């Protein structure tokens, strides 16, 4: 069924040539920061988005960054590579004709998951590549955009069934489509050649049990995905007990992430404070939003699970 859906969707979107070229330079040790900067600056829109994101509160740098070469020096190549993924996403899906789909809610959820995942990863001494979690969070539900292209009204229909019958959305997806957004997302990311860590996090972002070499990493993205649905905005100095009673008591196996309730509270608050600025920095406010979709129907693929 996956092959059938992908055939109906036509060619899966490819990453832009500038992304491929810059990534190759980032992975070549002999490439200088100036050379990398010149490659990025061949795309003015991409350059503006990267600089806007790096200078946002999300990164909290003390001094403004004025050039891509400076960004490479300050952030490092691996971090810039992850920032690059986020900044090209809006452009990759800009021409997708997606109707009857809560696109703004989709990106809000994805960006919140990305911010929370990165923040939780930063609190874990065992995790080195924090930016990979931002990318994994941003991409974890990307398969839904491909599904929405083939079956425009499928998300609303599947979400309604899952809510009415108290089933997990992924279960209803498989029953109705013969495939899940996880399968489609993994296929897309494999085509893009993204690292195995990110693909595993996408593959297991609905799994409750996490085992294997990426157990901690996948559990962090699973937890971030769950936490992104909770709103702690306007609540300062949230106590650990309140976090547990309101949120963590509803999330199974959250301890697998090796994060404390205090760290989780901070991550949730940062997501609520920063998601709109990050969305704007990535250029996602430029995407066409379908006004016919009720704003009250928030994007949520965890119905029946919480």
What tens digit of pLDDT does each residue of 154-188 get?
888 998 999 899 888 899 999 998 899 999 999 98
For the cut 60, the answer to whether the pLDDT of residue 16 exceeds it is yes
Determine which of 79-83, 94-98, 287-291 has the lowest per-residue pLDDT on average. Answer: 287-291
Average of per-residue pLDDT across 292-301: 53
Residues 31 and 36: their CA atoms lie apart, in Å, by 7
Residue with tokens 């992304």: 19
pTM (2 d.p.): 0.86
Query: Long-range contacts: 23-29, Cβ < 8 Å, 24+?
Result: 23/81, 23/84, 26/72, 26/77, 26/78, 26/80, 26/81, 26/84, 27/77
Query: Long-range contacts: 201-205, Cβ < 8 Å, 24+?
Result: 201/133, 201/136, 201/140, 202/136, 202/139, 202/140, 202/142, 205/136, 205/140
- Angle formed at CA 107 by CA 106 and CA 109, multiple of 5 degrees: 70
CATH topology of domain 2-286: Hypothetical protein af1432 (1.10.3210)
Under the banding of pLDDT at 50, 70 and 90, the label for residue 112 is: very high
Under the banding of pLDDT at 50, 70 and 90, the label for residue 139 is: very high
In percent, how much of the chain has pLDDT > 90? Answer: 28
Q: pLDDT at position 218, please? A: 94
Q: For the chain, give the mean pLDDT.
A: 83
Per domain, the residue ranges of the chain are 2-286
Q: pLDDT at position 292, please? A: 52
Q: pLDDT at position 90, please? A: 67
Q: pLDDT at position 233, please? A: 55
């Amino acid at each position: 069924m996956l092959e059938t859906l992908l055939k109906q969707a036509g060619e899966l979107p490819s990453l832009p040539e500038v992304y491929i070229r810059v990534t190759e330079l980032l992975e070549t040790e002999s490439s200088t920061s100036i050379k990398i900067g010149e490659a990025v600056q061949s795309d003015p829109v991409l350059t503006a988005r990267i600089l806007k994101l790096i200078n946002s509160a999300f990164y909290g740098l003390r001094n403004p960054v004025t050039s891509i070469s400076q960004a490479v020096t300050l952030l490092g190549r691996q971090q810039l590579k992850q920032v690059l993924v986020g900044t090209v996403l809006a452009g990759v899906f800009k021409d997708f004709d997606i109707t009857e789909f809560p696109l703004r809610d989709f990106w809000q959820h994805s960006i919140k998951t990305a911010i929370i995942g990165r923040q939780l990863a930063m609190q874990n001494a065992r995790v080195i590549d924090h930016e990979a979690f931002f990318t994994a969070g941003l991409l974890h539900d990307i398969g839904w955009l491909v599904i929405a292209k083939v079956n425009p009204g499928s998300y609303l229909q599947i979400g309604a069934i899952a809510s009415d019958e108290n089933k997990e959305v992924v279960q209803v997806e498989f029953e109705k489509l013969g495939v899940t957004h996880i399968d489609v997302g993994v296929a897309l990311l494999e085509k893009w050649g993204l690292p195995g860590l990110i693909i595993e996090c996408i593959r297991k972002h609905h799994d409750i049990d996490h085992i294997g070499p990426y157990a901690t990493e996948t559990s962090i993205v699973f937890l971030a995905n769950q936490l992104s649905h909770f709103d702690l905005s306007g609540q300062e100095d949230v106590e650990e007990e309140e976090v547990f009673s309101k949120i963590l008591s509803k999330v199974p196996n959250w301890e697998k992430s090796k994060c404390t309730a205090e760290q989780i509270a901070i991550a949730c608050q940062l997501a609520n404070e920063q998601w709109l600025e990050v969305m704007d920095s990535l250029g996602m406010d430029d995407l066409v939003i379908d006004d016919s979709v009720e704003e009250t129907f928030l994007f949520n693929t965890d119905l029946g699970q919480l």
